[in-house]
Chains A and B, each alone.
Chain A
Amino acid sequence: QKEVEQNSGPLSVPEGAIASLNCTYSDRVSQSFFWYRQYSGKSPELIMSIYSNGDKEDGRFTAQLNKASQYVSLLIRDSQPSDSATYLCAVNVYGNNNDMRFGAGTRLTVKP
């Protein structure tokens, strides 16, 4: 089992819809969870971090964490074409804040 798993997509949603991105992880002691966005040809940039169970909202983005189910998700409300990118889930593993493992990424396309 991979340490961090994501559906590779592609995921296509119409403009204005909610995009839902999912991620599962295998290390039960993981404490820090991140969502990075990567535009084609660019480097990953952090859009959300979450450390506690529940929801965390930042503008149109909501991260959801369920440690019991080892599941983290990202919701994008009112999706815009500019949200079209690959979204990478990242998890610190083995209780090590420096050891971050990335999922393969989900490619999202928002159609006008």
Chain B
Amino acid sequence: DAGVIQSPRHEVTEMGQEVTLRCKPISGHNSLFWYRQTMMRGLELLIYFNNNVPIDDSGMPEDRFSAKMPNASFSTLKIQPSEPRDSAVYFCASRSGGAGNEQFFGPGTRLTVL
């Protein structure tokens, strides 16, 4: 298995632009998570999906952030419009069902908003 796949790996954009981050979870995993990591705030859960349905988006910082999971093998995290304070590493992770199963992380997307 290729593991969790994220694209792009690096994104540099200007303030006000739309940014779309993509994630392909591990095949067979039914939960998908989006995290943001910064030096100041550490690793924060933004939103997670169970069986393609958003379950908890309380970690999404603002309405500028949105996430979708149109099918079991693809999810997007969109920021529109982007701001410099959105600069961070965004990780996608997936997990199979069952108690205690670990989350597997993708390589992350390093976003820089100028």
Q: In the complex, are the beta carbons of B43 and A49 less than 8 A apart?
A: no
Asked if A29 lies at the interface with its beta carbon under 8 angstroms from chain B, I say no
In the complex, which of the residues B100, B104, B107 contacts A51, with contact meaning CB atoms closer than 8 Å?
B100
The residue in chain B whose Cβ has the minimal distance to the Cβ of A4 is: B42
Q: Report how far A49 CA is from B98 CA in the complex, Å.
A: 14
Q: Give Cα A32 to B56, complex, Å.
A: 19
Most-contacted residue by chain B among A34, A44, A45, A49 (CB, 10 A)? A44
- Total number of B residues with any Cβ neighbor in A under 8 Å: 22
Contact A97 B100, CB 8 Å, known A43-B105, A44-B105, A45-B105: yes
B24 at the A/B interface (Cβ < 8 Å)?
Answer: no
Q: Check B42–A43 contact: CB distance below 8 A.
A: no
Residues of B within 8 A of A42 (CB): 107
Complex Cα distance, B103 from A45, in Å, reads 9
The answer to whether B50 and A98 touch across the interface, beta carbons within 8 angstroms, is: yes
CB of B101 closer than 8 Å to a CB of A: yes
Residues of A within 8 A of B103 (CB): 46, 100
- A-B contacts, 15 of them at CB < 8 A, read A31-B99, A32-B99, A43-B107, A43-B108, A44-B43, A44-B105, A46-B102, A49-B102, A88-B43, A92-B100, A97-B100, A98-B56, A100-B33, A103-B42, A104-B42
Residues of B within 8 A of A (CB): 31, 33, 42-43, 45, 48, 50, 55-56, 91, 95, 98-108
Q: A43-B106, A102-B42 are in contact. List 9 more A-B contacts (CB 8 A).
A: A31-B99, A43-B105, A43-B107, A44-B105, A45-B105, A46-B102, A51-B100, A88-B43, A98-B33
